[in-house]
Amino acid sequence: MRQGYFITIEGGEGAGKTSAIAMLRDWLEQRGHAVTTTREPGGIRIAEEIRSIILDTSNTGMDSRTEALLYAAARRQHLVEKVIPALEAGQVVLCDRFVDSSLVYQGIARGLGLEAIREINRFAIERWMPDLTIYMDVAPEIGLARIRADREREMNRLDLEPDDFHRKVREGYRRVASQHPERIVTIDASLPQEQVYEAIRRCLNHKLPPRV
Ligand code: TYD
């Protein structure tokens, strides 16, 4: 039985997902919720191994459908091993990227089509859709400039895509968000960090009230 609350965080490169998740974890814990934070692709050993194949900068010859299937495979394993047990234990799960990343990156930016990506992901995730998705929207020029300024962060195969790819990613997210207004909340991630955090907390205030 499902009792927890499943939140996914989405956005293009440099949108600030990682620090937003850290903020949200602390805030939810202060409100008395048990929280599991995780990320895709990865989060557990088998999925981290798939991640290293997908994101290896030397794998430039990877076919788009291979890429889509590997993301779906990593998603399945991570869901079964980590997300479902945490939800069944009544936890709030905060996941950095989920199925919307595949819809946008593989379905739209790589041009495989939304329907094909929905289909393989239906097989991978069955009924386990997020209760809420926070989409952090920022222009790719701003996001990529943030990444390039942050020397600590590893560059991966997708960061090396041309700017046009990142523009398609943003348009893709806006399209997918407009198709699912009941689940996806768009946050303006170009604002100063404290305002972004405040907007995120506001959308969870009523959904996850304090338990203490
Ligand atoms: P990561 O280093 O985790 O990037 P970020 O910090 O931006 O989340 O690398 C994940 C990359 O994989 C990112 O470029 C988005 C891409 N991706 C897909 O193309 N499809 C997917 O289904 C997922 C989960 C990620």
pLDDT digits (tens, 9 = 90+) for 128-146: 999 999 999 999 999 988 8
Residue 210: inside a domain:
no
Q: Which domain holds residue 39?
A: 5-205
User: CA torsion, points 145, 150, 151, 157, in degrees to nearest 10?
Assistant: -60
Query: Residue 193 carries which side chain, given as an amino acid letter?
Result: Q
Residue 212 lies in a domain: no
71 lines ligand 1 (CB under 6 A): yes
User: pLDDT tens-digit profile of 58-68?
Assistant: 999 999 999 99
Pocket test for ligand 1, best of 13, 17, 57, 105 (most atoms within 8 A of CB): 105
Q: Residue whose CA is closest, atom 23 of ligand 1? A: 101
Q: Is 107 in the pocket of ligand 1 (CB under 6 A)?
A: no
In a domain, 155, yes or no: yes
In a domain, 90, yes or no: yes
> If pLDDT is split at 50, 70 and 90, which confidence band does 178 have?
very high
Kindly give the distance from the C-alpha atom of residue 105 to the centroid of ligand 1, in angstroms, as a whole number: 8
Q: Which of 121, 158, 161, 176 to mutate to test the pocket of ligand 1 (most atoms within 8 A of CB)?
A: 158
Domain containing 69 — which CATH number?
A: 3.40.50.300
Contact 174, 71 (CB under 8 A): no
Pocket of ligand 1 contains residue 110 by CB under 6 Å: no
pLDDT tens figures, 88-144: 999 999 999 999 999 999 999 999 999 999 999 999 999 999 999 999 999 999 998
Check whether 162 has a pLDDT greater than 70: yes
Structure token pair of residue 141: 């020029």
> For ligand 1, is residue 77 a contact (CB within 6 Å)?
no
SS3 36: strand
Q: Determine if the pTM surpasses 0.85.
A: yes
Q: Per the domain annotation, does 211 fall within a domain?
A: no
The single-letter DSSP state of residue 4 is S
Could you identify the atom of ligand 1 that is nearest to the CA of residue 71? 22
Residue with CA closest to ligand 1 atom 20 = 102
Say if CB 73 and CB 79 are below 8 A apart: no
Looking at the structure of the chain, the number of domains it has is 1
Q: Tell which one of 135, 156, 166 to mutate to probe ligand 1, the residue whose CB is within 8 A of the most ligand atoms.
A: 156
Is 184 a domain residue? yes
DSSP-assigned letter for residue 101: H
Instruction: Give the model's pLDDT for residue 151.
Output: 66
Whose C-alpha lies nearest to ligand 1, atom 6?
Answer: 13
Q: Is 156 in the pocket of ligand 1 (CB under 6 A)?
A: yes
